[in-house]
A and B are shown apart, each in its own frame.
Chain A
C-alpha cells in the first residue's frame, strides 16, 4: 500500500523526468515550431505500455502518443535493444498529421525493459507537394509528405545513417531537420537516464506499485470531476468550409454524454470523409474536444492511462473524423479546433455560466515559400495567426489570442523579415470583428504580408469563411475569416484552402475571426461600448446600430441611448439576430 504523501512525491519525481525530456527537446531543436512555439510533447510509458506521464505544454498532443506507442510497440516484429528508437508519423497507425514525427525508445533498467520514452515534435517540413506539409488540394495522404510507418531508425543512440539520409532526402531544408531529429533523440536519452535513475532509487518493483496507484488515483480524480457535471446528452453542430477540392460546406457534429462518472464524446452525425484534406484521425478529434473538456473537469489533472479511462470516443469509420483508405488529413487540425468550439457550445446546455461563446475556431495554417533574392536561395515558412476568444457570462472575450488546443506564439516581425523576403505591413486587431453582446467577443487579427521575392506562393489551409463564430444567449456572432489578395486594390477573396502565386510586391491580407458575444448587446454597459469606440475597435455607427449606444463628442449621450435602446428592444422580435459583425470590418 502506497501512502498518499509518498504518491504525491513520486508523481513529482516522475513529472520531473518528462519535464527534463521537454527541456532537452525544446532547447536543442532547430525548428521554430519546436523551440519557440512549443509544438511538442514528451511522455513515458511503463513496461506494460501504460501511459504514465506527459509533459503537458501543448494540448493538441493530449492523446497523440497514447494512441501511437502501445499499438505500434506491440506490433513490432523484433526485440528492442538498449538505445533503439522507432520513428513514426503514420496517421493510419494512430498518429496525427505527418509533420508530427514521433520517436519511441525503450527504457532499460538492469537489462530489463521497464518502460518507454517517447516524444512528438512538429517538423517545419515533411516533404510532399507543398512546403510546410500542408497541401490544401491533395486527395491522398501521399501528397502530404513522407509517411514513416514505424521504422527502426535508431541503434545504440545513433540514427542509422541510411534511414536518416533517406528521410532527409525527402524533406526541404534537410540540415535543419537533422537538428530536430537529433533533439528528439536527445530527449529520449534524457528519459532513459532519468527513468532508470528513478528505478534505481525506488526499485523497479516499487515503481510499478506506485504507477498502479498513480493511475488509479488519477482516474478517481477525473471521475470525481465528471460526476460534478449534470448528467445528460448535450449536442452541437457546425458547418465547415469546403474540403479543399470542392467548396461545399460539410457538417461536424458532436454530442457530449455525461453519465455519472463517465463521458462519451460522440461524433455520430459528422459528414462522410472528404476527398480533399479536410479529414482528421480519431486522435486529433479527441485532442481537439478534450482541450475544452479539460476546462470543465480541471486543467491540472495528470495525463496518464487513468486519466483516459472514463472517456469513450465514438468516431464512426468513414466519416471525416475517422477516414479510411489513406485519405489526406492535412487540414485535420481545423476539424479538431472546431470540435473544441462545439464542446463549449454543447456545454452551454449543461453549465451555461461556465462556458464560452465560439472562438476564432481555426488553427489558421499559413505556409509560404519562394526564392529569396538576398541570397538566391529558396525559403519556406509556416505560421498560425491568433483571433478572438468567445465572450463569457461575466467577461468579454480576449482579443487576439490562440484558442482551445492551440497556444503557439507568433513569429516576431523582425525575425521573420530577417529570415524571409517579406514585409509585414499590418499586424493588428481587426476592427469591428467582435461578436456583439452584453459581453462582447474578442477581436480577430489582421496580418498583411508583402512578398518582394520571385515565385512566392501563399498557401492557406484553414476554415471558417462561411460559418461565423456564434454567440450565446442572445449574443451575436462574430465576423468570419477573410483572406484577401491585394486588399487596397482589387481585393480578391481567397478560399480558406488555397494556394496563390504572387508577383513581387503583392500583398495578401489575413483576417481571422473574432469571438462570439454572450447575452443581449442592448444590455451592454454603454461605458464599455464607449471605451471600444474611443479605442477605434467599434465604429460609432456600430455602437448605435448594434448596441443602441449613441456616442457624440466622445461621450455617451445617455438620453439618446435610452431612447435608441427602447426603440430597438421594441422592434427586435428575434433576439438571436444573426451576424452583423462583417459590416465595416477592415
Chain B
C-alpha cells in the first residue's frame, strides 16, 4: 500500500498523477474528459495510469479527486426543480438578494434569474425572534398546503429557510418532518443544517446552491465510488474541497457547495507545499493560465482562508481558500483604445482560437504573442510546420493592431503589453496583501500554470519581491496538490451566548466537536488521529466585519481573554489600529478537524537529455536585446546556479530569468530566482 493517486477533472482534460512512495517517483497522464458522464473519464484515467505503471490496484493507499463538475453545471443554469418554504411575507428574499445590480453604469445589464422561480417559493406563518424565542407559532396546516402545492409543481427537493433558524431550528425541523411524512417522495434541506449562521439571504442562497449542486453531484460520486471498488482499489475516494483539504464522497455530497473551488484549492495547497519545503513561510501563489490568473496567499506557513466567497454574483458562505482571480492570462488581448491608450484584456482569446502565434485562427494580438515577439518563447514550443512564417504573420498583425497605433517599434510595443499585463496583476496582488495588512515585498512568489513562469520575475519586481519560486511541474501542479492535501473538515455555528461567556462558548464548541468526531468516524478515522482546532469570528460590538482568531483549550476565562487579546492584535495588524477599551463579541464559533497526509518525497527525475539548448536573442527593458542562454530545464541537476539572462524551457511552460537575477535548482527540482 504505497501508491497515491490524484485525479483532477477539467472540462476538457482529466489529469492523473501517481506517486510511488517506495521509488519516490511521480507519473502523470492526461485523458479526455467525458461530459456529461465525467465519472467515465476519471475511471479511464485511473485504468490508464495503473496499466501504464504496472501497478496492482490493491497497492493504492490514497486516492483523491478534484472536480468542479457539479458546481459548473449549476453555474451554467442546470438547476434541478427545487422549492422553497420560508416565512410568510419573505418569499422574495431569495430573489431580491442584497438589492444591488451587478454593474454601475450599464443600462442594458441583466440580473441572474432567481435560482428558484417565484411560484415555487412559498411563505408560511411562524416566526422566531432575534434571540431564538418564538414570536408566532408555526402554522402546520399552511405548511401542509405549501408542500401539496410544491408536490403538484413537481419539485425534487425543498429548501427550508426561516428567520433566526441558526438560533432555533424548531420550525425548520418541523417543516422537514412534514415533508418527510408527506405522501410525495420529496427530499429537503434545512438552512440551519447546511449553514447555521446569521443573514437570511446568505443562508438561504447558500442552502439552495448546495442543494442544487448536491443533486447534480450525488449520482456522479456514487458511480465513481462503485467504479473504484470494482477496480479493486480498497481505499476511500477522497474529494478535494475549497478549504484545501479532502473529505469523503458522503460529505462531498451533503456539503456539495464546498467543492466549488476544488481545482484552484489544490493548486494553492501545492504552492504552499513548495514554498514551505524551501523554508519560506510567507508566499503568494500565482497560477496564470490562458484567460486568468488565480492568486492565493500563504502566511506563517498556512494558507489564508476565508469564510465566504462569491460565484455568479451570488454570495456563498462556505469555508474556502481565499483565491482572487485577475483577468490577465497568456490569451489576454492587447488593444489600443479610442484615445490612443494601450489596454490589455479583459477580453481573452483563450485557448481556442488562442493567440495569433498558435496559428489556429486567432486574429487579435495577445500577451503570449508579445512574449514570442520579444524572443521569450520559441515557436517550436507550440506550433509545428513553418515557424518563420508564423512569427512573421504574428509580427505583422501585432504591428498593425498595436505597434503602429502607438507609434512604437514592435519590440517596444510588445514590452509595453507585457508591462501592462504585469501591472494589472501586481495591482490585484497588492490589494490582496494590503487587505491582510501586509506589504507584498515580504512574500516569496510561487509562479505556475502555463503562463506564470514567464511573467513572474517582472511581476515580482513591481511589488518589491526578491525571490521567485518556479515549481518543477508548473503545468500539473494542481494535480500534485491533490496528493498532498490533508483530510480536513471545517464546521461552524453562530455563537448563541451573551457577549463572551466561557461556558456558552464551551457548549458551542462541544457541539461542533461532536459533529467533527462523527464526520471523521464516518471516514474511518479514530478520534485520536484527528487534530481539532478551535477558532472564533470576533468583532468590536457595533462593527459588521469579523476576524477569525484561535481559541485555546481548556476554555476558561483566561482562554477567553487570550482570544480577545489575539483579536486586538489581529485588528491592529490588519486595520492599523486596535481599541483595547472597546467591548468585543464573538459571532461565529469554528472547529477545524484535520488528519495530516504525509508529504511527498519525490526525487527530481534523472534525465539523459542535454541541458544546453543554445542561445536566443531576447529583448529586455533595461538591457535591450541580449543573447540569452536556453536550457532544457528537466536536465539541469540539483544545486546548479546560473546567472541570468536565461530561458528555461520545460514541458508545457517556459520560464524567464532576467539579466540581473540568479537561478538555482533546489533539492526538490524547483528553480529559485533571486535578485
Interface residues of chain A, those whose CB is within 8 Å of chain B, are 3-9, 12-13, 15-16, 19-20, 23-24, 27-28, 30, 32, 35-36, 56, 59, 175-176, 179, 182, 186, 189, 217-218, 220-221, 223-225, 291-292, 294-295, 298-299, 344, 354-356, 385-386, 389, 392, 395, 398-403, 407-410, 412-415, 417-418, 423-429, 445, 448, 534-537
Task: Count contacts between A and B, CB distance < 8 Å.
Answer: 210
Of B33-41, B265-273, B540-548, B592-600, the stretch lying at the interface with chain A is B540-548
Are B90 and A427 within 8 A (Cβ)? yes
**With A28-B577, A414-B200 known to touch, is A299 a contact of B104 (CB < 8 Å)?**
yes
**Quick check: is B381 within 8 A (CB to CB) of the other chain?**
no
Neighbour of A413 across the interface among B103, B200, B412, CB < 8 A: B200
Are B93 and A427 within 8 A (Cβ)? yes
Neighbour of B427 across the interface among A13, A175, A223, A395, CB < 8 A: A13
Neighbour of A5 across the interface among B406, B434, B545, B577, CB < 8 A: B406
In this complex, the member of B105, B118, B135, B408 whose beta carbon has the largest number of chain A beta carbons within 10 angstroms is B105
Neighbour of B129 across the interface among A218, A299, A412, A417, CB < 8 A: A417
Are A410 and B135 within 8 A (Cβ)? no
A sample of 18 inter-chain contacts (CB < 8 A) reads: A4-B341, A7-B341, A8-B423, A23-B435, A24-B576, A35-B544, A218-B339, A220-B339, A221-B341, A299-B105, A389-B101, A399-B95, A414-B130, A415-B544, A426-B89, A427-B90, A428-B89, A428-B92
Q: Once bound together, how far apart are the Cα atoms of A558 and B427, in whole Å?
A: 57
Are A401 and B99 within 8 A (Cβ)? yes
Are A354 and B108 within 8 A (Cβ)? yes
In this complex, the member of B108, B164, B408 whose beta carbon has the largest number of chain A beta carbons within 10 angstroms is B108
Q: Which residues of A contact B108 (CB under 8 A)?
A: 354, 392, 395
Are A221 and B339 within 8 A (Cβ)? yes
Question: Which A residue sits closest to B153, measured CB to CB?
Answer: A534
Q: Once bound together, how far apart are the Cα atoms of A536 and B123, in whole Å?
A: 13
Q: From residue A169, how far is it (CB to closest CB) to chain B in Å?
A: 19
**With A20-B431, A392-B107, A427-B92 known to touch, is A414 a contact of B101 (CB < 8 Å)?**
no
**Quick check: is B386 within 8 A (CB to CB) of the other chain?**
no
Question: Which B residue sits closest to A224, measured CB to CB?
Answer: B338
Q: Which residues of A contact B426 (CB under 8 A)?
A: 12
Apart from A182-B577, A412-B200, A413-B200: 13 A-B pairs, beta carbons within 8 A: A13-B427, A23-B435, A27-B545, A28-B575, A217-B341, A224-B338, A294-B105, A295-B107, A299-B106, A401-B111, A402-B100, A414-B200, A429-B96
**With A30-B543, A414-B164 known to touch, is A428 a contact of B431 (CB < 8 Å)?**
no
Q: Once bound together, how far apart are the Cα atoms of A23 and B436, in whole Å?
A: 10
**With A8-B343, A294-B105 known to touch, is A412 a contact of B111 (CB < 8 Å)?**
no
**With A8-B420, A429-B96 known to touch, is A186 a contact of B577 (CB < 8 Å)?**
yes
Q: Once bound together, how far apart are the Cα atoms of A428 and B342, in whole Å?
A: 46
Neighbour of B104 across the interface among A23, A30, A407, CB < 8 A: A407
Q: Once bound together, how far apart are the Cα atoms of A402 and B99, in whole Å?
A: 6
Are A35 and B577 within 8 A (Cβ)? no
Chain B count of residues within 8 A CB distance of the other chain:
68
Are A36 and B101 within 8 A (Cβ)? no
Per-position contact with A for B363-395: 1 when CB-CB < 8 Å, else 0? 000000000000000000000000000000000
Are B577 and A32 within 8 A (Cβ)? no
Q: From residue A299, how far is it (CB to closest CB) to chain B in Å?
A: 3
Per-position contact with A for B415-438: 1 when CB-CB < 8 Å, else 0? 111011001101100110011000
Are A400 and B106 within 8 A (Cβ)? no
Are A186 and B576 within 8 A (Cβ)? yes
Per-position contact with A for B93-124: 1 when CB-CB < 8 Å, else 0? 10110111101111111110000011100000
Are B89 and A425 within 8 A (Cβ)? yes
**Quick check: is B198 within 8 A (CB to CB) of the other chain?**
yes
**Quick check: is B91 within 8 A (CB to CB) of the other chain?**
yes
**With A30-B542, A425-B89 known to touch, is A5 a contact of B431 (CB < 8 Å)?**
no
Q: Once bound together, how far apart are the Cα atoms of A30 and B579, in whole Å?
A: 13
Are B90 and A23 within 8 A (Cβ)? no
Question: Which A residue sits closest to B123, measured CB to CB?
Answer: A428
Q: Once bound together, how far apart are the Cα atoms of A344 and B106, in whole Å?
A: 12
Q: Once bound together, how far apart are the Cα atoms of A326 and B65, in whole Å?
A: 68
Neighbour of B101 across the interface among A407, A418, A448, A534, CB < 8 A: A407
**Quick check: is B163 within 8 A (CB to CB) of the other chain?**
yes
**Quick check: is B42 within 8 A (CB to CB) of the other chain?**
no
Are B107 and A427 within 8 A (Cβ)? no
Q: Once bound together, how far apart are the Cα atoms of A427 and B98, in whole Å?
A: 12
Q: From residue A301, how far is it (CB to closest CB) to chain B in Å?
A: 9
Question: Which B residue sits closest to A534, measured CB to CB?
Answer: B119
**Quick check: is B201 within 8 A (CB to CB) of the other chain?**
yes
**Quick check: is B413 within 8 A (CB to CB) of the other chain?**
yes
**Quick check: is B202 within 8 A (CB to CB) of the other chain?**
yes
Q: Once bound together, how far apart are the Cα atoms of A175 and B581, in whole Å?
A: 12
- For the complex of A and B, 7 pairs with smallest distance between CB atoms: A5-B416, A299-B105, A220-B339, A428-B92, A221-B339, A426-B89, A386-B99
Q: Which residues of A contact B424 (CB under 8 A)?
A: 12
Are A12 and B96 within 8 A (Cβ)? no
In this complex, the member of B98, B119, B129, B413 whose beta carbon has the largest number of chain A beta carbons within 10 angstroms is B98
Q: From residue A434, how far is it (CB to closest CB) to chain B in Å?
A: 13
**With A5-B417, A354-B107 known to touch, is A535 a contact of B100 (CB < 8 Å)?**
no
**Quick check: is B183 within 8 A (CB to CB) of the other chain?**
no
Q: From residue A167, how far is it (CB to closest CB) to chain B in Å?
A: 18
Q: Which residues of B contact A224 (CB under 8 A)?
A: 338-339
**With A412-B201, A537-B118 known to touch, is A401 a contact of B542 (CB < 8 Å)?**
no
Are B420 and A401 within 8 A (Cβ)? no
Neighbour of A410 across the interface among B98, B119, B340, B417, CB < 8 A: B98
Are B430 and A16 within 8 A (Cβ)? yes
Q: Which residues of B contact A445 (CB under 8 A)?
A: 96, 99
Q: Which residues of B contact A535 (CB under 8 A)?
A: 117-119
Q: Which residues of A contact B542 (CB under 8 A)?
A: 30, 175-176, 179
**With A395-B110, A401-B100, A537-B118 known to touch, is A414 a contact of B544 (CB < 8 Å)?**
no
**With A221-B339, A412-B202 known to touch, is A3 a contact of B416 (CB < 8 Å)?**
yes
Question: Which B residue sits closest to A14, measured CB to CB?
Answer: B427
Q: Once bound together, how far apart are the Cα atoms of A32 and B545, in whole Å?
A: 10
Are A8 and B575 within 8 A (Cβ)? no
Q: Once bound together, how far apart are the Cα atoms of A67 and B271, in whole Å?
A: 48
Are A427 and B423 within 8 A (Cβ)? no
Q: Once bound together, how far apart are the Cα atoms of A356 and B105, in whole Å?
A: 12
**Quick check: is B337 within 8 A (CB to CB) of the other chain?**
yes
Question: Which A residue sits closest to B574, measured CB to CB?
Answer: A27
Q: Which residues of B contact A392 (CB under 8 A)?
A: 107-108
Q: Which residues of A contact B340 (CB under 8 A)?
A: 4, 217, 220
Are A27 and B100 within 8 A (Cβ)? no
Q: From residue A151, how far is it (CB to closest CB) to chain B in Å?
A: 23
B331-347 contacts to A, CB under 8 A, are 336-344
Question: Which A residue sits closest to B420, measured CB to CB?
Answer: A8
Are B105 and A427 within 8 A (Cβ)? no
In this complex, the member of A9, A407, A534 whose beta carbon has the largest number of chain B beta carbons within 10 angstroms is A9
Are B434 and A20 within 8 A (Cβ)? yes
Q: From residue B473, how far is it (CB to closest CB) to chain A in Å?
A: 31
Q: From residue B403, how far is it (CB to closest CB) to chain A in Å?
A: 11
Are B198 and A415 within 8 A (Cβ)? yes
Q: From residue B283, how far is it (CB to closest CB) to chain A in Å?
A: 21
Are B341 and A417 within 8 A (Cβ)? no
In this complex, the member of A19, A217, A395, A427 whose beta carbon has the largest number of chain B beta carbons within 10 angstroms is A427
Q: Which residues of B contact A24 (CB under 8 A)?
A: 575-576
Question: Which B residue sits closest to A194, measured CB to CB?
Answer: B434
Q: Once bound together, how far apart are the Cα atoms of A28 and B338, in whole Å?
A: 39
Question: Which B residue sits closest to A537, measured CB to CB?
Answer: B118
Q: Which residues of A contact B164 (CB under 8 A)?
A: 414, 417
Question: Which B residue sits closest to A10, measured CB to CB?
Answer: B423
Are B544 and A32 within 8 A (Cβ)? yes
Are A429 and B413 within 8 A (Cβ)? no
Q: From residue B426, how far is it (CB to closest CB) to chain A in Å?
A: 7
Q: Once bound together, how far apart are the Cα atoms of A429 and B114, in whole Å?
A: 13
In this complex, the member of B107, B111, B575 whose beta carbon has the largest number of chain A beta carbons within 10 angstroms is B107
**With A292-B107, A400-B96, A535-B117 known to touch, is A35 a contact of B338 (CB < 8 Å)?**
no
